Structure 1
Amino acid sequence: MSIHLSEEEQLENLKRWWKENGKLIIGAAVIAIAGYFGVTSWQDHQRQKAEQASASYEQLIKLFNTEPGKTLSEADRATVVHLANELKAGSSSMYAYTAAFFLAKLAVEDNKLDAAVSELKWVLSAKPDTATAEIARLRLARVLIAQQSYDEALTQLASEPAAAFATEYNELRGDALKSQGNLDAARTAYEKALAATDPQQQERYMLLQMKVNDLKVPEAAAPATGSAGENAQ
Protein backbone atom coordinates (compact mmCIF):
# COMPACT_ATOMS: atom_id res chain seq x y z
CA MET A 1 0.00 0.00 0.00
CA SER A 2 1.27 3.44 -0.85
CA ILE A 3 2.19 5.58 2.11
CA HIS A 4 0.58 8.54 0.32
CA LEU A 5 -3.14 9.08 0.27
CA SER A 6 -4.75 8.68 -3.08
CA GLU A 7 -6.04 11.76 -4.87
CA GLU A 8 -9.59 10.67 -4.04
CA GLU A 9 -8.80 10.45 -0.33
CA GLN A 10 -7.07 13.84 -0.37
CA LEU A 11 -10.11 15.37 -2.10
CA GLU A 12 -12.48 13.83 0.45
CA ASN A 13 -10.37 15.16 3.32
CA LEU A 14 -10.33 18.60 1.75
CA LYS A 15 -14.11 18.57 1.34
CA ARG A 16 -14.55 17.47 4.92
CA TRP A 17 -12.16 20.16 6.20
CA TRP A 18 -13.87 22.84 4.14
CA LYS A 19 -17.28 21.75 5.42
CA GLU A 20 -16.05 22.11 8.98
CA ASN A 21 -14.04 25.33 8.58
CA GLY A 22 -15.24 27.05 5.43
CA LYS A 23 -17.89 29.23 7.12
CA LEU A 24 -15.36 30.42 9.66
CA ILE A 25 -12.89 31.39 6.94
CA ILE A 26 -15.54 33.19 4.91
CA GLY A 27 -16.75 35.02 8.02
CA ALA A 28 -13.26 36.12 8.90
CA ALA A 29 -12.68 37.32 5.35
CA VAL A 30 -15.94 39.27 5.36
CA ILE A 31 -15.05 40.91 8.66
CA ALA A 32 -11.58 41.80 7.41
CA ILE A 33 -12.95 43.31 4.20
CA ALA A 34 -15.67 45.19 6.05
CA GLY A 35 -13.10 46.49 8.52
CA TYR A 36 -10.84 47.67 5.73
CA PHE A 37 -13.61 49.55 3.96
CA GLY A 38 -14.90 50.85 7.31
CA VAL A 39 -11.51 52.30 8.23
CA THR A 40 -11.11 53.75 4.75
CA SER A 41 -14.56 55.32 4.93
CA TRP A 42 -13.82 56.78 8.38
CA GLN A 43 -10.50 58.19 7.16
CA ASP A 44 -12.23 59.77 4.15
CA HIS A 45 -14.85 61.29 6.45
CA GLN A 46 -12.21 62.69 8.78
CA ARG A 47 -10.28 64.13 5.85
CA GLN A 48 -13.42 65.79 4.51
CA LYS A 49 -14.16 67.26 7.94
CA ALA A 50 -10.61 68.61 8.22
CA GLU A 51 -10.78 70.16 4.74
CA GLN A 52 -14.14 71.75 5.52
CA ALA A 53 -12.87 73.10 8.85
CA SER A 54 -9.79 74.54 7.14
CA ALA A 55 -11.93 76.29 4.50
CA SER A 56 -14.26 77.72 7.17
CA TYR A 57 -11.29 78.89 9.23
CA GLU A 58 -9.71 80.66 6.25
CA GLN A 59 -12.99 82.43 5.52
CA LEU A 60 -13.25 83.44 9.18
CA ILE A 61 -9.74 84.90 9.17
CA LYS A 62 -10.44 86.88 5.99
CA LEU A 63 -13.56 88.41 7.54
CA PHE A 64 -11.72 89.40 10.72
CA ASN A 65 -8.71 90.88 8.94
CA THR A 66 -10.45 94.16 8.21
CA GLU A 67 -8.67 97.44 7.65
CA PRO A 68 -7.76 99.40 10.81
CA GLY A 69 -10.73 101.40 12.04
CA LYS A 70 -13.17 99.49 9.87
CA THR A 71 -15.91 97.46 11.55
CA LEU A 72 -17.65 94.34 10.32
CA SER A 73 -20.97 94.77 8.57
CA GLU A 74 -24.00 93.10 10.08
CA ALA A 75 -23.93 90.49 7.30
CA ASP A 76 -20.25 89.75 7.91
CA ARG A 77 -20.80 89.52 11.66
CA ALA A 78 -23.61 87.04 11.11
CA THR A 79 -21.30 85.00 8.87
CA VAL A 80 -18.53 85.09 11.46
CA VAL A 81 -20.88 83.87 14.19
CA HIS A 82 -22.19 81.08 11.94
CA LEU A 83 -18.72 79.92 10.89
CA ALA A 84 -17.34 80.13 14.42
CA ASN A 85 -20.17 78.09 15.91
CA GLU A 86 -19.79 75.57 13.09
CA LEU A 87 -16.09 75.16 13.89
CA LYS A 88 -16.81 74.82 17.62
CA ALA A 89 -19.39 72.13 16.95
CA GLY A 90 -17.03 70.21 14.68
CA SER A 91 -14.33 69.34 17.21
CA SER A 92 -12.09 70.54 20.01
CA SER A 93 -9.25 71.67 17.78
CA MET A 94 -7.19 74.81 17.29
CA TYR A 95 -9.78 75.90 14.73
CA ALA A 96 -12.50 75.58 17.35
CA TYR A 97 -10.49 77.40 20.03
CA THR A 98 -9.71 80.29 17.69
CA ALA A 99 -13.37 80.47 16.71
CA ALA A 100 -14.31 80.81 20.39
CA PHE A 101 -11.71 83.58 20.81
CA PHE A 102 -13.30 85.44 17.88
CA LEU A 103 -16.77 85.06 19.40
CA ALA A 104 -15.46 86.35 22.74
CA LYS A 105 -13.93 89.37 20.99
CA LEU A 106 -17.21 90.19 19.28
CA ALA A 107 -19.06 89.81 22.58
CA VAL A 108 -16.69 92.26 24.31
CA GLU A 109 -17.14 94.75 21.47
CA ASP A 110 -20.91 94.46 21.98
CA ASN A 111 -20.45 94.83 25.76
CA LYS A 112 -21.88 91.33 26.25
CA LEU A 113 -19.35 90.35 28.87
CA ASP A 114 -21.24 87.31 30.14
CA ALA A 115 -21.19 85.86 26.61
CA ALA A 116 -17.44 86.53 26.37
CA VAL A 117 -16.88 84.75 29.69
CA SER A 118 -18.86 81.74 28.42
CA GLU A 119 -16.77 81.47 25.24
CA LEU A 120 -13.47 81.67 27.10
CA LYS A 121 -14.57 79.16 29.73
CA TRP A 122 -15.60 76.84 26.90
CA VAL A 123 -12.02 76.90 25.60
CA LEU A 124 -10.67 76.04 29.06
CA SER A 125 -13.23 73.27 29.54
CA ALA A 126 -12.01 71.63 26.32
CA LYS A 127 -8.55 71.05 27.92
CA PRO A 128 -6.48 72.71 25.18
CA ASP A 129 -2.70 72.81 24.96
CA THR A 130 -0.85 74.85 27.59
CA ALA A 131 -0.28 77.96 25.47
CA THR A 132 -3.92 78.14 24.37
CA ALA A 133 -5.11 77.67 27.95
CA GLU A 134 -2.87 80.49 29.20
CA ILE A 135 -4.18 82.84 26.48
CA ALA A 136 -7.75 81.91 27.40
CA ARG A 137 -7.09 82.56 31.11
CA LEU A 138 -5.52 85.93 30.34
CA ARG A 139 -8.47 87.05 28.23
CA LEU A 140 -10.94 85.67 30.74
CA ALA A 141 -9.22 87.55 33.56
CA ARG A 142 -9.46 90.81 31.60
CA VAL A 143 -13.19 90.34 31.11
CA LEU A 144 -13.70 89.39 34.76
CA ILE A 145 -11.85 92.53 35.88
CA ALA A 146 -14.12 94.57 33.60
CA GLN A 147 -17.05 92.88 35.41
CA GLN A 148 -15.43 93.76 38.76
CA SER A 149 -15.17 90.04 39.54
CA TYR A 150 -11.71 90.51 41.00
CA ASP A 151 -11.48 87.37 43.11
CA GLU A 152 -12.43 85.17 40.17
CA ALA A 153 -9.95 86.99 37.96
CA LEU A 154 -7.18 86.35 40.49
CA THR A 155 -8.18 82.69 40.61
CA GLN A 156 -7.63 82.47 36.85
CA LEU A 157 -4.21 84.08 37.30
CA ALA A 158 -3.17 82.03 40.34
CA SER A 159 -0.81 79.59 38.61
CA GLU A 160 2.61 80.64 37.42
CA PRO A 161 2.58 81.00 33.62
CA ALA A 162 5.26 80.29 31.06
CA ALA A 163 7.90 83.00 30.78
CA ALA A 164 6.30 84.35 27.60
CA PHE A 165 3.15 85.24 29.56
CA ALA A 166 4.76 86.41 32.82
CA THR A 167 4.47 90.13 32.09
CA GLU A 168 0.79 90.06 31.18
CA TYR A 169 -0.16 87.71 34.02
CA ASN A 170 1.53 89.83 36.67
CA GLU A 171 0.20 93.08 35.25
CA LEU A 172 -3.35 91.76 35.36
CA ARG A 173 -2.80 90.51 38.90
CA GLY A 174 -1.69 94.01 39.78
CA ASP A 175 -4.77 95.54 38.12
CA ALA A 176 -7.13 93.23 40.03
CA LEU A 177 -5.35 93.75 43.36
CA LYS A 178 -5.26 97.52 42.90
CA SER A 179 -9.00 97.54 42.16
CA GLN A 180 -9.52 95.63 45.44
CA GLY A 181 -7.50 98.25 47.31
CA ASN A 182 -4.63 95.84 48.05
CA LEU A 183 -1.98 98.34 46.98
CA ASP A 184 1.13 96.67 48.44
CA ALA A 185 0.35 93.37 46.69
CA ALA A 186 -0.52 95.27 43.50
CA ARG A 187 2.82 97.08 43.54
CA THR A 188 4.65 93.76 43.99
CA ALA A 189 2.77 92.28 41.03
CA TYR A 190 3.60 95.29 38.85
CA GLU A 191 7.26 95.03 39.86
CA LYS A 192 7.28 91.38 38.79
CA ALA A 193 5.69 92.36 35.49
CA LEU A 194 8.30 95.06 35.00
CA ALA A 195 11.15 92.65 35.78
CA ALA A 196 9.81 90.22 33.16
CA THR A 197 9.56 92.92 30.47
CA ASP A 198 12.23 93.56 27.88
CA PRO A 199 13.37 97.21 28.23
CA GLN A 200 13.51 97.31 24.44
CA GLN A 201 9.71 97.32 24.53
CA GLN A 202 9.83 100.95 25.56
CA GLU A 203 6.12 101.80 25.64
CA ARG A 204 5.27 98.66 27.57
CA TYR A 205 8.17 99.15 29.96
CA MET A 206 7.29 102.81 30.60
CA LEU A 207 3.63 101.97 31.26
CA LEU A 208 4.55 99.36 33.85
CA GLN A 209 7.08 101.71 35.44
CA MET A 210 4.33 104.30 35.78
CA LYS A 211 2.07 101.74 37.47
CA VAL A 212 4.85 100.88 39.92
CA ASN A 213 5.61 104.55 40.61
CA ASP A 214 1.95 105.36 41.24
CA LEU A 215 1.92 102.86 44.10
CA LYS A 216 5.27 103.70 45.67
CA VAL A 217 5.07 104.62 49.33
CA PRO A 218 6.15 108.26 49.76
CA GLU A 219 9.37 108.53 51.73
CA ALA A 220 8.96 110.12 55.15
CA ALA A 221 10.29 113.65 55.43
CA ALA A 222 13.80 113.77 56.84
CA PRO A 223 13.81 114.93 60.51
CA ALA A 224 15.14 118.45 61.15
CA THR A 225 18.62 118.58 62.71
CA GLY A 226 19.48 120.80 65.67
CA SER A 227 17.24 122.96 67.84
CA ALA A 228 15.16 125.85 66.69
CA GLY A 229 17.62 128.25 68.24
CA GLU A 230 20.56 126.62 66.50
CA ASN A 231 18.75 126.72 63.19
CA ALA A 232 18.01 130.40 63.67
CA GLN A 233 21.68 131.23 64.19
Structure 2
Amino acid sequence: MSVHLSEEEQLEVLKRWWKDYGKTVVIAVLVAVVGYFGFTTWQDQKRQKAENASATYEQLLKLVNVEPGKAISDADKATVTHLADQLKDANSKSMYAHSAAFFLAKLAVEDNKLDDAVSELKWVLSAKPDAATEQLARLRLARVLTAQKAYDEALAQLSPEPAAAFVADYAEARGDILKLQGDLDAARTSFEKALNSIDPQQQERYMLLQMKVDDLKVNDSVPTAPVAEEK
Protein backbone atom coordinates (compact mmCIF):
# COMPACT_ATOMS: atom_id res chain seq x y z
CA MET A 1 0.00 0.00 0.00
CA SER A 2 2.77 2.40 0.95
CA VAL A 3 4.53 1.61 -2.33
CA HIS A 4 1.33 2.34 -4.25
CA LEU A 5 0.89 5.62 -2.42
CA SER A 6 4.53 6.49 -3.03
CA GLU A 7 4.05 5.96 -6.77
CA GLU A 8 0.94 8.13 -6.70
CA GLU A 9 2.86 10.81 -4.89
CA GLN A 10 5.65 10.63 -7.42
CA LEU A 11 3.15 10.88 -10.26
CA GLU A 12 1.55 13.88 -8.59
CA VAL A 13 4.95 15.53 -8.24
CA LEU A 14 5.66 14.93 -11.93
CA LYS A 15 2.27 16.39 -12.87
CA ARG A 16 2.93 19.48 -10.79
CA TRP A 17 6.46 19.82 -12.19
CA TRP A 18 5.18 19.51 -15.76
CA LYS A 19 2.46 22.05 -15.08
CA ASP A 20 4.97 24.50 -13.65
CA TYR A 21 7.96 23.87 -15.94
CA GLY A 22 6.85 21.71 -18.86
CA LYS A 23 6.15 24.56 -21.28
CA THR A 24 9.41 26.25 -20.33
CA VAL A 25 11.34 23.06 -21.08
CA VAL A 26 9.62 22.60 -24.43
CA ILE A 27 10.31 26.22 -25.39
CA ALA A 28 13.93 25.90 -24.31
CA VAL A 29 14.37 22.78 -26.40
CA LEU A 30 12.76 24.43 -29.41
CA VAL A 31 14.96 27.49 -29.01
CA ALA A 32 18.05 25.28 -28.80
CA VAL A 33 17.04 23.31 -31.90
CA VAL A 34 16.21 26.44 -33.89
CA GLY A 35 19.43 28.06 -32.72
CA TYR A 36 21.47 25.05 -33.74
CA PHE A 37 19.98 24.87 -37.22
CA GLY A 38 20.16 28.66 -37.55
CA PHE A 39 23.86 28.62 -36.66
CA THR A 40 24.48 25.75 -39.06
CA THR A 41 22.69 27.62 -41.84
CA TRP A 42 24.69 30.77 -41.09
CA GLN A 43 27.93 28.78 -41.18
CA ASP A 44 26.94 27.22 -44.51
CA GLN A 45 26.10 30.61 -45.98
CA LYS A 46 29.36 32.05 -44.72
CA ARG A 47 31.30 29.15 -46.21
CA GLN A 48 29.47 29.53 -49.52
CA LYS A 49 30.24 33.26 -49.65
CA ALA A 50 33.90 32.57 -48.99
CA GLU A 51 34.00 29.96 -51.76
CA ASN A 52 32.26 32.34 -54.17
CA ALA A 53 34.70 35.13 -53.31
CA SER A 54 37.65 32.80 -53.82
CA ALA A 55 36.36 31.72 -57.23
CA THR A 56 35.73 35.34 -58.28
CA TYR A 57 39.21 36.36 -57.15
CA GLU A 58 40.79 33.53 -59.14
CA GLN A 59 38.97 34.76 -62.25
CA LEU A 60 40.27 38.27 -61.61
CA LEU A 61 43.85 37.04 -61.17
CA LYS A 62 43.78 35.17 -64.47
CA LEU A 63 42.79 38.38 -66.26
CA VAL A 64 45.34 40.71 -64.65
CA ASN A 65 48.30 38.32 -64.80
CA VAL A 66 49.28 38.94 -68.40
CA GLU A 67 52.62 38.13 -69.97
CA PRO A 68 55.39 40.74 -69.63
CA GLY A 69 55.13 43.36 -72.34
CA LYS A 70 51.47 42.67 -73.01
CA ALA A 71 48.63 44.95 -71.95
CA ILE A 72 45.21 43.96 -70.68
CA SER A 73 42.56 44.40 -73.34
CA ASP A 74 39.72 46.84 -72.83
CA ALA A 75 37.26 43.94 -72.65
CA ASP A 76 39.30 42.26 -69.93
CA LYS A 77 39.59 45.54 -68.03
CA ALA A 78 35.82 45.82 -68.03
CA THR A 79 35.55 42.29 -66.68
CA VAL A 80 38.20 42.97 -64.03
CA THR A 81 36.27 46.06 -62.92
CA HIS A 82 33.05 44.05 -62.74
CA LEU A 83 34.63 41.24 -60.71
CA ALA A 84 36.45 43.66 -58.42
CA ASP A 85 33.24 45.56 -57.71
CA GLN A 86 31.54 42.27 -56.88
CA LEU A 87 34.22 41.47 -54.32
CA LYS A 88 34.07 44.97 -52.83
CA ASP A 89 30.28 44.89 -52.55
CA ALA A 90 30.19 41.38 -51.08
CA ASN A 91 32.45 42.13 -48.11
CA SER A 92 34.43 45.36 -47.80
CA LYS A 93 36.42 43.87 -44.89
CA SER A 94 37.81 40.91 -46.82
CA MET A 95 41.32 40.62 -48.20
CA TYR A 96 39.76 39.73 -51.55
CA ALA A 97 38.03 43.11 -51.66
CA HIS A 98 41.16 45.03 -50.67
CA SER A 99 43.29 43.20 -53.24
CA ALA A 100 40.65 43.88 -55.89
CA ALA A 101 40.78 47.60 -55.10
CA PHE A 102 44.58 47.52 -55.38
CA PHE A 103 44.25 45.97 -58.85
CA LEU A 104 41.77 48.66 -59.90
CA ALA A 105 44.13 51.36 -58.63
CA LYS A 106 47.02 49.83 -60.58
CA LEU A 107 45.01 49.72 -63.80
CA ALA A 108 43.89 53.32 -63.24
CA VAL A 109 47.51 54.47 -62.85
CA GLU A 110 48.49 52.63 -66.03
CA ASP A 111 45.67 54.46 -67.85
CA ASN A 112 46.77 57.76 -66.26
CA LYS A 113 43.46 58.00 -64.41
CA LEU A 114 45.05 59.15 -61.19
CA ASP A 115 41.82 60.40 -59.60
CA ASP A 116 40.34 56.91 -59.97
CA ALA A 117 43.44 55.38 -58.41
CA VAL A 118 43.18 57.76 -55.46
CA SER A 119 39.52 56.82 -54.99
CA GLU A 120 40.30 53.09 -54.92
CA LEU A 121 43.15 53.46 -52.44
CA LYS A 122 41.10 55.73 -50.19
CA TRP A 123 38.33 53.13 -50.33
CA VAL A 124 40.74 50.54 -48.95
CA LEU A 125 41.64 52.87 -46.08
CA SER A 126 37.97 53.61 -45.38
CA ALA A 127 37.33 49.87 -45.01
CA LYS A 128 39.58 49.81 -41.91
CA PRO A 129 41.84 46.98 -43.09
CA ASP A 130 44.56 45.23 -41.08
CA ALA A 131 47.72 47.19 -40.31
CA ALA A 132 49.82 45.76 -43.15
CA THR A 133 47.13 46.45 -45.77
CA GLU A 134 46.59 49.96 -44.43
CA GLN A 135 50.30 50.77 -44.61
CA LEU A 136 50.55 49.42 -48.16
CA ALA A 137 47.51 51.48 -49.19
CA ARG A 138 49.01 54.61 -47.65
CA LEU A 139 52.31 54.05 -49.46
CA ARG A 140 50.65 53.57 -52.84
CA LEU A 141 48.31 56.50 -52.24
CA ALA A 142 51.29 58.70 -51.40
CA ARG A 143 52.94 57.70 -54.70
CA VAL A 144 49.82 58.60 -56.69
CA LEU A 145 49.38 61.89 -54.85
CA THR A 146 53.01 62.69 -55.58
CA ALA A 147 52.34 62.15 -59.27
CA GLN A 148 49.46 64.63 -58.89
CA LYS A 149 51.87 67.07 -57.19
CA ALA A 150 49.75 66.97 -54.03
CA TYR A 151 52.94 66.83 -51.97
CA ASP A 152 51.59 67.86 -48.57
CA GLU A 153 48.78 65.34 -48.74
CA ALA A 154 51.23 62.67 -49.86
CA LEU A 155 53.50 63.37 -46.89
CA ALA A 156 50.50 63.19 -44.58
CA GLN A 157 49.81 59.65 -45.76
CA LEU A 158 53.37 58.71 -44.79
CA SER A 159 53.32 60.37 -41.38
CA PRO A 160 52.27 57.32 -39.29
CA GLU A 161 55.30 55.27 -38.29
CA PRO A 162 55.17 52.03 -40.33
CA ALA A 163 56.11 48.50 -39.40
CA ALA A 164 59.70 47.40 -39.99
CA ALA A 165 58.80 45.84 -43.35
CA PHE A 166 57.72 49.26 -44.69
CA VAL A 167 60.35 51.54 -43.14
CA ALA A 168 62.58 51.66 -46.23
CA ASP A 169 59.66 52.15 -48.64
CA TYR A 170 58.15 54.96 -46.55
CA ALA A 171 61.51 56.69 -46.13
CA GLU A 172 62.26 56.52 -49.86
CA ALA A 173 58.82 57.82 -50.80
CA ARG A 174 59.19 60.65 -48.29
CA GLY A 175 62.63 61.45 -49.71
CA ASP A 176 61.26 61.63 -53.25
CA ILE A 177 58.58 64.10 -52.15
CA LEU A 178 60.95 66.27 -50.13
CA LYS A 179 63.35 66.43 -53.07
CA LEU A 180 60.54 67.61 -55.35
CA GLN A 181 59.70 70.26 -52.75
CA GLY A 182 63.30 71.43 -52.77
CA ASP A 183 64.12 70.35 -49.21
CA LEU A 184 67.31 68.53 -50.18
CA ASP A 185 68.75 68.07 -46.69
CA ALA A 186 65.58 66.40 -45.44
CA ALA A 187 65.36 64.35 -48.64
CA ARG A 188 68.92 63.06 -48.18
CA THR A 189 68.17 62.14 -44.58
CA SER A 190 65.14 60.14 -45.72
CA PHE A 191 67.11 58.36 -48.44
CA GLU A 192 69.85 57.49 -45.95
CA LYS A 193 67.22 56.07 -43.61
CA ALA A 194 65.85 53.97 -46.43
CA LEU A 195 69.37 52.83 -47.36
CA ASN A 196 70.11 51.79 -43.79
CA SER A 197 66.81 49.95 -43.47
CA ILE A 198 67.10 47.53 -46.39
CA ASP A 199 69.03 44.34 -46.78
CA PRO A 200 72.24 44.95 -48.79
CA GLN A 201 71.42 41.66 -50.53
CA GLN A 202 68.78 43.63 -52.44
CA GLN A 203 71.52 44.89 -54.71
CA GLU A 204 69.49 46.79 -57.30
CA ARG A 205 67.41 48.54 -54.67
CA TYR A 206 70.49 49.28 -52.59
CA MET A 207 72.33 50.76 -55.57
CA LEU A 208 69.35 52.93 -56.51
CA LEU A 209 69.09 54.37 -53.01
CA GLN A 210 72.83 54.91 -52.84
CA MET A 211 72.60 56.87 -56.11
CA LYS A 212 69.84 59.03 -54.65
CA VAL A 213 71.94 59.77 -51.59
CA ASP A 214 75.09 60.45 -53.62
CA ASP A 215 73.21 62.69 -56.03
CA LEU A 216 72.16 64.98 -53.19
CA LYS A 217 75.65 64.93 -51.72
CA VAL A 218 77.03 66.02 -55.09
CA ASN A 219 74.49 68.82 -55.30
CA ASP A 220 75.43 70.00 -51.82
CA SER A 221 79.13 69.93 -52.64
CA VAL A 222 78.82 72.12 -55.73
CA PRO A 223 80.28 75.50 -54.73
CA THR A 224 78.20 78.54 -55.38
CA ALA A 225 79.58 81.08 -57.82
CA PRO A 226 81.40 83.90 -56.03
CA VAL A 227 79.60 87.20 -56.00
CA ALA A 228 81.54 89.85 -57.86
CA GLU A 229 82.66 92.71 -55.65
CA GLU A 230 81.34 96.07 -56.54
CA LYS A 231 83.98 98.56 -57.54
TM-score (norm 1): 0.87
Q: Which residue of 2 is the match for residue 85 of structure 1? A: 85
Give the C-alpha shift of residue 144 in structure 1: 0.6
Which AA in structure 1 matches 2:66? T
Distance 2:44 2:53 in 1: 14
Q: 1:4 to 1:135 in 2, by over 3 A?
A: same
**Does 172-181 or 158-167 show the bigger shift?**
158-167
Question: What residue number does 1:211 align with?
Answer: 212
- Measure how far apart 1:219 and its partner are: 6.0
Structure 1 residue aligned with 2:121: 120
Q: Which residue of 2 aligns with 1:224?
A: none
CA apart distance, 1:11: 3.0
- Cα shift at 1:68: 0.7
Which deviations, in whole Å up to 9, do the C-alpha atoms of 1:138-184 show, x marking residues without a partner? 10110010011111111111122222222211111011111111111
Q: Which residue of 2 aligns with 1:188?
A: 189
Distance, in Å, in 1 between the alignment partners of 2:76 and 2:171 is 36
In the alignment, what sits opposite 2:66? Answer: 66
Deviation at 1:76, TM superposition (A): 1.3
**d(CA) in 2 for partners of 1:156 and 1:62?**
31
Matches within 5 A, 1:21-32: 21-32=21-32
Counterpart AA for 1:78: A
Which residue is 2:132 aligned to?
131
Aligned length: 221
Match of 2:7 in 1: 7
Alpha-carbon distance in 2 for matches of 1:8, 1:45: 52
Asked if 1:56 is matched to 2:59, the reply is no
Deviation at 1:186, TM superposition (A): 0.8
Provide the C-alpha distance between the structure 2 equivalents of 1:152 and 1:105, rounded to a whole number of angstroms: 20
Distance 1:134 1:105 in 2: 16
Q: CA RMSD in A?
A: 1.9
Moved more, 34-43 or 205-214: 205-214
C-alpha distance in structure 1 between counterparts of 2:167 and 2:200, whole Å = 15
1:106 aligns to 2:107 (yes or no): yes
Q: Name the SS of the counterpart of 1:215 in structure 2.
A: helix
CA separation of 1:7 and 1:199: change in aligned 2, threshold 3 A? closer
When structure 1 is superposed on structure 2, of 176-185 and 195-204 the one drifting more is 195-204
1:6 CA displacement: 4.2
Deviation, structure 1 residue 4 = 6.7
Q: Which residue of 1 aligns with 2:16?
A: 16
Distance 2:21 2:205 in 1: 78
Deviations 1:10-68 (A, max 9, x none): 33443333233222111111111110110011000000001101111111111111111
Partner of 1:35, secondary structure, is helix
Q: Which runs of 4+ in 1 moved over 6 A?
A: none
CA shift digits 1:49-101 (9 cap, x unpaired):
01101111111111111111111122211111111111111221111110110
Partner secondary structure for residue 221 of structure 2 = coil
User: Equivalent residue for 1:226?
Assistant: none
Secondary structure of 1:128's counterpart equals coil
State yes or no: 1:94 paired with 2:98. no
Partner SS state of residue 72, structure 1: coil
Name stretches of at least 5 consecutive residues in structure 2 with no aligned partner. 225-231
Name the aligned partner's letter for residue 80 of structure 2.
Answer: V
How many Å separate the matches in 1 of 2:10 and 2:160?
A: 77
**2:38 is the counterpart of 1:33:** no
User: Structure 1: how far apart are the matches of 2:182 and 2:30?
Assistant: 73
Counterpart residue identity of residue 209, structure 2: L
Aligned residues with identical type, % of pairs: 71
